[in-house]
């Protein structure tokens, strides 16, 4: 392993120490390189919608939260979203924080659709018991800039989680969410 690491370090040193090298054309042309800076500004939004947990069949209950969205540091075609949400279904409370990078596709100059994974942590409370579980899933979102500063959007997500063991709730936190957002870009 040490020999491979040493070889890779030496190889990269020779590659980058070659002096002036003409820039290469990209192999894959991403669709939003030039447009996304204006399309995906940093923003904050309030969220509201419905969530259905697997252990509570046919029981869609409301949830709310906030979202911080910003252009991805690695790719101009990806919007990064950090969401904090709360769900309260009488005896079960769920507080969650998620990171949701979405690859975006333009629908128009002011609208886009995004698709991507979701990873997060959820804190569950049932009576006097609490548990924390890791969550992961996939989602799709749509967003439209109403003005230069305000936007609206919607998102649907399906999430899975590690198992939890709270009194009367021995299962995972598999859930579906559908929600809307109203936000301000700056």
Bridge partners of residue 47, in order along the sequence: 65, 181
% residues pLDDT > 70 (the chain): 74
Instruction: State yes or no: pLDDT of 136 exceeds 60.
Output: yes
- Reference 178, options 28, 47, 44, 16; nearest CA is 47
pLDDT of residue 116: 94
Q: Which two tokens stand for residue 87?
A: 């769900």
Band (pLDDT 50/70/90 cuts) for residue 22 is low
Instruction: State yes or no: pLDDT of 17 exceeds 50.
Output: no
Band (pLDDT 50/70/90 cuts) for residue 178 is very high
Task: Tell me the pTM.
Answer: 0.74
Distance CA 66, CA 83 (A): 6
Domains of the chain in sequence order = 34-185 (2.40.160.20)
pLDDT of residue 39: 59
- Distance, C-alpha 127 to centroid of its chain: 30
Q: Return the higher-pLDDT residue of 33 and 28.
A: 28
Tell me, what DSSP letter sits at residue 58? T
Bridge partners of residue 38, in order along the sequence: none
Instruction: State yes or no: pLDDT of 48 exceeds 60.
Output: yes
pLDDT of residue 34: 43
């Amino acid at each position: 392993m040490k020999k491979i690491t040493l070889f890779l370090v030496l190889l990269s040193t020779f590659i980058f120490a070659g002096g002036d090298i003409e820039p290469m054309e990209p192999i894959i042309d991403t669709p939003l390189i030039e447009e996304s800076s204006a399309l995906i500004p940093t923003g904050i939004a309030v969220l509201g919608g419905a969530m259905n947990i697997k252990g509570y069949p046919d029981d869609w209950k409301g949830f709310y939260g906030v979202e911080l969205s910003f252009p991805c540091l690695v790719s101009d075609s990806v919007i990064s979203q950090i969401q904090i949400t709360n769900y309260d279904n009488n005896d079960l409370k769920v507080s969650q924080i998620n990171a949701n990078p979405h690859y975006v596709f333009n629908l128009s100059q002011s609208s886009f659709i995004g698709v991507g994974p979701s990873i997060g942590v959820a804190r569950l409370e049932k009576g006097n018991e609490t548990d924390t579980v890791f969550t992961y899933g996939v989602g799709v979102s749509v967003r439209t800039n109403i003005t230069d500063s305000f936007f609206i959007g919607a998102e649907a997500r399906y999430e899975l989680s590690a198992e939890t063991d709270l009194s009367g709730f021995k299962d995972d936190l598999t859930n579906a969410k559908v929600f809307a957002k109203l936000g301000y870009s700056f």
